[in-house]
Structure 1
C-alpha cells in the first residue's frame, strides 16, 4: 500500500539536465517542488575525482555511470516482426544513472538546430514539392515542430551562457562572421567563450577543407576554453584535454553538467526538495484519465509512496520517458504498421560513420590529449545546405575530424588486413596509434 504524502506544486521525474533546469526556473516563482531521481546523489567532489574517474574499464567499457540493465530490463529489436531481446550492455542509448543523469557523462557537443529543422515538412514541401517527399518512401514521417527557431533563439542564447559554451559564431543577427559556421541560424551575440584550442588533427582537416573550398569552423563545445562564471554565479575552469570526457564525469569543473552549472544554485532554494534513490513506477491520473495528479514511486528501502502534485514534469532520459508514459496509460502507443499513435513515435538515436586515415610516421597526432568536443568541421553537407532534388533523400550531417581520446582499451586503430591479435597486431597498433585520424 502506497503511503500518501503531502501535496506539492510540482514534481519532476528525473534530476538531470531538464529536471534541474525546469526546477530552477519554477523555483523562482515560489512553487513547492520535489525532484525524484532514481539514482544516487553524486557530486564532483568526492565522486568524480582522479585517479578513479579515469578508470577506462569501469566507466567506458562497463558503463558505471549509466543505467544498470541488471535492475531494469530494456529490450530491443531492429524490426517489428523480430523478437525483442534484452539489452545486456549499452552501446547506443546511454541513459545516466544518478544525480545529473546523462548530462554528467556527455561529450559537450553544443550545436543549435537550423531554422528549417523547426518547419521541416513545410520547408521541404516548399523547396522540393510533395511528389519528391512521397518518393522518399513511407518511412518519412517528418512534420513541423509547432515552434520556430526565432521563438527559441533567446532561450538558446540563455542556455549557452548558462553552460559557458566555447565556440565561434558564424552568423550574428544575419551578418556572417569569419571563422564561424556560415550555415548556422542567426544568433543574437557571440558565444560566451572562445573556441577550444585546435588539436593537430583539426588543423589537418581544416587545411584540407579550405583547399577544397569548404567552410571549416570549430565545434561548439561545453568543454570550457577558459575559466568562466555563469549567470548563476557558478565558477567553471578550463579544459585540460585529459582525454576522459565522453562516458566519464569531469573532475576539473571544466565540462558543463548539472553539478557544475545548475544544482549548486538549485539546492539552495528553500522551496526545492531533492529525493534520490527513488524509482517512479507510474504517473497517477484523475478519474477521467486525462489529468496527472502526481506520481507513485518506491524508495531504496522498498517503501512505496504516492506524491500528489499539481504539475508533473517527465524529465528522464527519453527511453525512460516513453516507458513511464506507457506504464501510466498515457497516450496512444505508436504503431509502425498503421502510423497511428504518438507515444514512442520517431524516437531514434544518432548514427555516424566515416573513414579512418592512416598517416605517415612523421605526423604525430597525440590522440591522448583531447576533450569531448574538440573537432573542426564543415556544415556544407548538413541539413538542407545542399540541393537534394536528384538524390532521393533529405537531410545531411556535418563532416569533421572529431577525436575525443587515445585511451588504451578503446583506441587501437589498424589498417584493413591486420590480424586481430598476436605479434603483427601489436606492431600495427604501435605503428598507427599516434599517426591516425578519424573523419565523421
Structure 2
C-alpha cells in the first residue's frame, strides 16, 4: 500500500474510501441520512461556499456516505476523483454538462444501450446539443465525423446488448489527436474487467445500478475523472478553463488542477442539476462493491460456458459473446478485458421474432426484466423494449435486431441455467 492505494483489487474494493467512523468506531460506512451540516462559524461557512475549504454544506452537494463511495470508485478505476449521482443516465448528462453548449456535438458509437441513443439523439436537442452516431469499427469515419464543434467521443467498453468490445486504445488516440476527451461507459465491464483510463479514456461513467451494486436494489450513477486531460490546452472547454462568474471568477482548472472536473461536477453540476444520489443507495452500492471481483469471476465463467452451449443448440442461429472462438472480437477482448468479456450478450434465434417472444415467455429461472448485471440471470427482447424507440436500422446497428434476445448471465449454477434455456428454446420451436 502506498498513499492509500492498495496493490490488490480485492483489497481496494473493500477498504478504499472506508475507515472506522471517528465518532462511534462503526466499521461499516454509516448512512448519514441528513440534509444539512452545522458550520463551525460564519468564516467556516463562507470558506465552504467559496470553495476555499472542502467540507459538507448540504446533501445535494456532498454527503459522507456518498463521499466514501466516490473515493472507492476513483480508486478502483484509477481516477483522480469521482462524482456520484442518481442514475446512469444522470451520469451521462453530468459528464457532458461542463463540456457542451448550444451548437456543440459528440461523436458516439452506434452500439449503445437504446436509452442512451434516445437520450443522445432526442433529449439532447432540447439543450442545443447533438450526437453523431458512428460505427466505431470504422476509425476513419470516427475521425471524419469530428469537427470544430465536437467536444467528446463516447462509447461503451462492452456494448449493451450485443457484448461488442470497443477498441478503447484506438478511440483514445483519435480523441487525443483532436484535443477532446474520450468518455467510456464501463457499466457492463466494471473496473474489475477493464479500467478504461489505462487505455486512454478521460472520463468513465457508470450505471451503478448494474454490476457495481449487483443485487437489483438501487439506482445510481457515477463519473470518474482521470485527472489527465488538459482543459486549458484550447478554448473548447470554458466551463473548466475560464473564469466562473458564480464563484467570483474562479478558474476551475487553474485552481484545482487534476481535480478540476470533479470539483465542477459537485460545485456546479450537482448544485444546479440536482441529480443527487441518496445516502442509503450509496450504502447499498458500497456493500455490493465489496464482493465485485468474486461476482464478476462467476458471471464470466457462467457466461463462457452458457454461450458455448447455446452456440451448439439447433434453435440458435448465432451468439455474440466475445469469449467464443467464433467471435470477431475475441482477440480484442483479450486485450481490453483480459479477465473476461463480461456476461452480457445476445442470441439470434432461427425462428425469428415469434420464436423470441415464445422463448422469453417460456423461461422460468431467468427473470424477464429491463435490467442487467444482477446476481440473477435476466432476459429481455431489446427490439420491443429497451431499444423500441429506435428505427429498424438503428436497432440492427446497435445489435438489437428483432430476431435476437439479450441475456445477462447471473451467478447461479450453470446446469440449472442451461436446463432452463434448453426447455425454453424447445418450447419456442
Say whether the fold is shared (TM-score over 0.5). no
Higher relative contact order (CA 8 A, sep 6+): 1
User: Normalised by the size of structure 2, how large is the TM-score?
Assistant: 0.30
User: Normalised by the size of structure 1, how large is the TM-score?
Assistant: 0.30
